[in-house]
Structure 1
Amino acid sequence: MQVDFYHLTATPLERALPQIAAKVVESGQRLLIVSGDAEQRRRIDQLLWTFRPDSFLPHAQAGAGDDRLQPVLIGEAVAPGNGARHVALIDGEWRDDALSFERAFHFFGEDSIGAARIAWKTLAERDGVERRYWKQDENGRWGQAA
């Protein structure tokens, strides 16, 4: 199981998440996007329709139809109704339920850096968990820092 920690500094979630979601779907995988914030889920839902001028990323909010058909599902709980093996935690809150996936993307900003540090340290003690920490350089490019 791999957990990628994304420290959002120069690039906001609204630019980082769609790129990762598109890569997951292009690789033939499915993604579950999780946030406890209903307004954030609504904004991400709208964003995935419009983030590329020439296309959109097929997705839906959990419970809005047949979740099993969705390449990307947006929900409040870590419950992959679409059969996703990849999960993106976008509200800065780590959830241990994400450890049942093949890969987890944990996005956090300055307001949740303390909680991210605790999650990083806690996951170091778990067998079978590979942690990677991504941060941005002065040009906004992502680089693996740990």
Structure 2
Amino acid sequence: MTEIAFHFNVPDKLAYSCRLLRKAYLSGASVVVTGEPVVLAELDQLMWSFSPAEFVPHCRAGSAQSTLAASPVVLAESLQDCPHYGVLVNLGQGIPPEFERFERFIEVVAREDEDRLAARSRWKHYTDRGYAMKRHDLATAGEGA
């Protein structure tokens, strides 16, 4: 069963995602990031300049098959035709279809009310289906500042 973790109270969703993706890349994980097109475009831009000394190779889901297969991080609006199913990171407001194909699933939730309300709905959806949930509250962990 997919392991689901919620990362709550994230002050800057995109910057946090860059750090999370860098950590996953350095650990050897294969990651798919999903969300709305504008959010993925902003993340793509930020990843090119976030940490010049520690670039995280990534591509968009519409890239050539050889690029997709070689990329440890894939930014995808849809999970259809994703090249790997290690870790899924959701930056969107909805429940990604077919998330259960992934070994691990991370929901990144900002401090804003709209994001928090959508996350509560997703949390309920997952718990109603029997998923064990992990909660990482950045406000209490000292990472939210």
Output the TM-score relative to the length of structure 1: 0.82
Q: 2:125 & 2:39 partners in 1: Cα distance?
A: 27
Structure 2 residue 39 is matched with structure 1 residue 40: yes
Shift of 1:140: 4.7
Deviating above 4 A after TM superposition, structure 1's stretches of 4 or more consecutive aligned residues are none
> Which has the higher relative contact order, 1 or 2, with Cα contacts under 8 A spaced 6 or more apart?
2
1:72-121 deviations in Å (ceiling 9; x for gaps):
00010123623131001102322252122111111223213222112212
How far is 1:7 from its partner? Answer: 2.0
TM-score (norm 2): 0.83
**RMSD, aligned CA:** 2.1
Q: CA deviation at 1:24?
A: 1.5
Q: Deviations over 1:24-47 (max 9, x none)?
A: 222211000001x22211111111
For the structure 1 residues 8 and 91, does the alpha-carbon distance in structure 2 shift closer, same or farther, using more than 3 Å as the test? farther
* Higher share in helix: 2
**CA–CA distance in structure 2, aligned partners of residues 115 and 97 of structure 1:** 18
Name stretches of at least 5 consecutive residues in structure 1 with no aligned partner.
none
Within 5 Å, which residues of 2 pair with 1:18-37?
A: 18-35=18-35, 37=36
Percent of aligned positions with the same letter in both sequences? 20
Paired AA for residue 126 in structure 1 = R
Which stretches in structure 2 are left out of the alignment for 5+ residues? none
**How many residues are matched?**
139
